[in-house]
A and B are shown apart, each in its own frame.
Chain A
Amino acid sequence: MAVPETQSSKHSRRGASGALADKAFKGVAFFFASMVLVVLAAIIVMLFKDAWPTFQTFGLDFFVSAKWDVVNDQYGALIPIVGTLVTSLIAILIGIPVSFGIALFISVMAPVWLKRPVGIAVELLAAVPSIIYGMWGLFYFAPWFSENLQPLLTDTLGELPLIGQFFQGPPIGVSLFTAGFILAIMIIPFIASVMRDMFDVVPKDLKESAYAMGSTTWEVIWTVILPYTKVGVIGGIMLGLGRALGETMAVTFVVGNAQELMAGLFYPGSTIASTLANEFNEADGLHMSSLIALGLILFMITFVVLAISKWFLLRLGHAQEGRSA
């Protein structure tokens, strides 16, 4: 009788320690999961705290003033904010059609043996470090651009009424447009890979029904595949935009880093990220506080864009669950 008793008590003790270990394990997992939220909160709090002197000194003027004057300690965020938005806009305007074409090529048109190598090559574009784009952009792309593409654009689009003024600027190669163009190449893999994943899951029946009705491949793409995947496609585009907004090193090399507001896209300019990279280590006092305020603004803009992206992609997840159920 004694033997089974000790065994059972041993069992229950093991059971109790097991339950305790279970609780501890779950507790540790919960703790680290909540760290993700803590980091986000800490980023916002710390940046806000150090940016506070700037908001206190300049108030709302900080957001609309185009004066970034280190000598006289006057700071306004308008030029870097506009530069960030303009370069990112150029990036998605170029990036959307190119990503769409690449995703279509891989998903719809390419023969099976070609899908994988092309897919790998496009993913490698995303893996190349940002600073490499910067070096290539500054030493090779910018000179080529200013000698070949820029005069062409100035002579054609630059002659148009209204939008012509956007395509003017000195032939030095470093400009908002160059930065936007290189950003486009950097975000293409992200947008293309989301689009391609979307296109791949369009049900075969839908596509084949459309072909059977006599549609051309393009009509199947435009009237079946795209409407079916539009939510995900928008999510992918927003993801690319979020990436472009915060990209630092490539832009810093080619944007020209001028704190001036010019109408022409071929003039040098600056973005929030490039201003930070350039000035942060030489700044103190109000200058430093203003740079941190810029960082906070950048974080907020990308947060909103990425949240919208995530919201679209989540909606897609729910819609598909609903469909399969």
Chain B
Amino acid sequence: MTRYQRRKVLNAFNLTASIAVTLFGLVMLGWILTILFTKGFEHINWAVFTENTPPPGESGGLMNAIVGTLMLTVIAVLIGTPIGIMAGTYLAEYGGKSRFASAVRFINDILLSAPSIVVGVFVYTLLVSPVNHFSGWAGSVALAILVVPVIVRTTEDMLKLVPRQIREAAAALGAPRWKVTVHVVYKAALSGMMTGMILATARIMGETAPLLFTALNNNFWSTDMNRPIANMPVVIYQYALSPYSDWQDLAWAAALLITVSVLVMNIFARYGLKSGNQQKP
């Protein structure tokens, strides 16, 4: 084989391999989603939404788990978003390249990818072990710790996209700096900040590991945040690994509900809200 042919063959081989691994990725996604949808839809019915989680061997639903997950998620986002927005505002508007701001940025990006199970252990040592019982509040705090880095990151990125001239124009009209930030800059960056919030919500909705040691689970109807509270991810975990087929079926139904919610939020955040700003988060 001449050198020229060898180069052509190598080129063709490697480019084919590239297509092959892309297909591999798509096939894996297709495989997972197909199974999720077929198994999930088989077991979704009205009872899933109107009955509580059953004892083994009986049929039931997921009502308490659905409500519990919504409560845990909403409270976590309510705790995490203001903290994240203010911290992101500091980084974008005041921090600049100072040592403190660089350190916060660095640590924030690490917390963004830190193992969520360690956050669960941390909140256990902080809020569960001192009072000797699991609680919904502990679960929400653990999830909030996962929300903050996402919001900090998107808020800073989005505020930095707002042109300097807009800030200067507002300042020239005599607006104090905080008013410039709140009434002008936030408004300009709103859709980007919403994207961050939805992505953060999507991220924590399916999180199981941080809830195992904090909110735990509850087989009965309860909305008391001071006690263990039922939630979808832990129900999936416990039921999927149980020997009872009723429980396994419910786990598939719960898996479908959670995944569809998370995927829809992701697609909406990334591509639905995007028309407002050109840059991607």
- Chain A: residues with CB nearer than 8 A to chain B? 18-19, 21-22, 24-26, 28-37, 39-40, 42-43, 46-47, 49-50, 97-98, 100-102, 104-106, 109, 118, 120-125, 127-136, 138, 140, 185, 188, 192, 216-219, 221, 239, 242-243, 245-249, 253, 273, 276-277, 280-281, 291-292, 295, 298-299, 302-303, 306-307, 310, 314
Most B CB atoms within 10 A — which of A105, A120, A185? A105
A30 touches B90 (CB 8 A): yes
Residues A217 and B11 in contact in the complex (CB < 8 Å), given A29-B86, A136-B36? yes
**Bound CA span A148–B112, Å:** 37
Q: How far is the CA of A314 from the CA of B23 in the complex (A)?
A: 32
Q: Which chain B positions have C-beta within 8 A of A219?
A: 7, 11
Does the CB pair A306–B110 fall under 8 Å?
yes
Decide if A32 touches B18 in the complex (CB within 8 Å): no
- The answer to whether B176 touches A129 (Cβ under 8 A) is no
- Beyond the given pairs A25-B177, A105-B19, A131-B255, 4 more chain A to chain B contacts, judged by CB atoms under 8 angstroms and listed by A's residue number, are A34-B104, A36-B87, A122-B29, A129-B205
Chain A residues with CB under 8 Å of B82's CB are 32
B interface vs A, CB < 8 Å?
7-8, 10-11, 14-15, 17-22, 24-26, 28-29, 31-32, 35-36, 82-84, 86-87, 89-91, 93-95, 100-101, 103-104, 106-111, 113-119, 121-122, 124-126, 129, 145, 148-149, 152, 176-179, 181-182, 202, 205-209, 212-213, 216, 233, 236-237, 240-241, 251-252, 255, 258-259, 262-263, 266-267, 270-271
Return chain A residues, CB-CB under 8 Å to B21: 97-98, 101-102, 105
Instruction: Say which residue of A21, A104, A130 sits within 8 Å of B178 (CB atoms).
Output: A21
- A-B contacts, 6 of them at CB < 8 A, read A43-B122, A102-B18, A123-B266, A129-B206, A219-B7, A306-B110
Which of A25, A31, A33, A281 has the largest number of chain B CB atoms within 10 A?
A33
Partner of A188, one of B25, B107, B241: B25
* CB atoms of A129 and B233 under 8 A apart: yes
Q: A29-B90, A129-B262 are in contact. Are A120 and B267 (CB under 8 A)?
A: yes
Q: Is the CB of B251 within 8 A of A277?
A: no
Residues of B within 8 A of A120 (CB): 267, 270-271
Are B104 and A248 in touch, CB under 8 angstroms? no
| Chain A residues, CB < 8 A from B240 | 131, 134-135, 138, 253
> Inside 8 A of B270's CB, which chain A residues have their CB?
120, 123
In whole angstroms, what is the CA distance A106 to B19 when docked? 10
A128 close to B178 (CB less than 8 A): no
Report the bound CA distance from A144 to B185 in whole Å: 54
Interchain pairs with CB closer than 8 A, number = 254
Which of B19, B84, B145 has the most chain A CB within a 10 Å cutoff? B19
Q: How far is the CA of A182 from the CA of B125 in the complex (A)?
A: 30
Assembly CA distance A185 to B32 (angstroms): 11
A31 CB, nearest partner CB in chain B, Å: 8
Q: Is B103 a contact of A131 with CB atoms below 8 Å?
A: no
Distance of B31 from chain A, by nearest CB (Å): 7
User: Cβ of A253 and Cβ of B86 under 8 Å apart?
Assistant: no
CA distance A185 to B113 in the complex (A): 17
Q: A26-B94, A133-B32, A218-B10 are in contact. Are A127 and B177 (CB under 8 A)?
A: no
List chain A residues, Cβ under 8 A from B236.
131, 135
Q: Known interface pairs A22-B177, A46-B122, A281-B213. Does A32 touch B32 (Cβ–Cβ under 8 Å)?
A: no
A223 to B266, CA, bound (A): 36
Bound-state CA distance A246–B11 (Å) is 37
Is the CB–CB distance between A303 and B110 below 8 Å?
yes
Pairwise interchain contact A247-B115, C-beta atoms closer than 8 A: yes
A246 touches B118 (CB 8 A): yes
Partner of A37, one of B107, B125, B177: B107
Q: Smallest CB-CB separation from A25: which chain B residue?
A: B178
* Bound CA span A139–B252, Å: 11
Chain A nearest CB from B270 CB (Å) reads: 7
Q: Is the CB of B108 within 8 A of A36?
A: yes
Chain B residues with CB under 8 A of A46: 122, 125-126
Q: For A185, list chain B residues within 8 Å (CB).
A: 25, 28
> How distant is the Cα of A32 from the Cα of B86 in the complex, in angstroms?
6
Contact between chains at B212 and A36 (CB < 8 Å): no
Residues on A with beta carbons closer than 8 Å to the beta carbon of B119? 43
Contacting B20 at CB < 8 Å: which of A47, A101, A133, A303? A101
CB-CB under 8 A from B207, the residues of chain A are: 129-130
Neighbour of A39 across the interface among B20, B29, B111, B241, CB < 8 A: B111
Interface centre among A21, A28, A32, A306 (most CB of B within 10 A): A32
Choose among B11, B22, B121, B152 the residue that contacts A47 (Cβ–Cβ < 8 A). B121
From the candidates B103, B118, B179, B271, name the one contacting A298 in the complex (CB within 8 A): B118
Distance in angstroms from A99 CB to nearest chain B CB is 8
B65 CB to nearest A CB, Å: 13
**Complex-state Cα separation, A6 to B252, whole angstroms:** 72
In the complex the two chains form, is B18's CB within 8 Å of A101's CB?
yes
Residues from chain B with Cβ under 8 Å of A102 in the complex: 18, 21-22, 25
Q: Please give the distance in Å from B280's CB to the nearest CB on chain A.
A: 10
A100 vs B259: C-alpha distance in the bound complex, in angstroms?
27
The distance from the CB of B129 to the nearest CB of chain A, in whole angstroms, is 8
Nearest chain-A residue to B180 (Cβ)? A22
CB distance B36 to A36 under 8 Å?
Answer: no
